[in-house]
Amino acid sequence: MYVCLCRAVTERHIVEAVDGGAERMKHLRHDLGVATECGRCATCAKDCLKETLASRRAEQPSVS
């Protein structure tokens, strides 16, 4: 699904950015241009970022 129409950024792009080390909206702004035009995508992009980060953290094995 498209998150940012202005920059043609999809959820997949955000997931790939997280896999590449993005952890904050400023990283998505810098790397993908998200929320740098009209700004309507900011909330959706932030939600996608949070969900992806939570998913990646849940996938990590716990250290005992």
Nearest one of 54, 43, 45, 40 to 10, comparing CA atoms? 45
Q: Does any domain span residue 64? A: no
CATH code where residue 39 lies: 1.10.10.1100
Q: Does any domain span residue 32? A: yes
Identify the domain containing residue 16 by its residue range. Answer: 2-59
Distance CA 17, CA 34 (A): 11
pLDDT above 70 for 64: no
Long-range contacts of 23-28 (CB under 8 A, 24+ apart): 23/53, 24/49, 25/49
In this structure, how many other beta carbons lie within 10 angstroms of the beta carbon of residue 58? Answer: 7
Confidence band for 61, pLDDT divided at 50, 70 and 90: confident
Q: What is the count of structural domains for the chain? A: 1
- For residues 32 and 61, the model is more confident at 32
Q: Does any domain span residue 12? A: yes
pLDDT tens digit string along 1-30?
A: 999 999 999 999 999 999 999 999 999 999
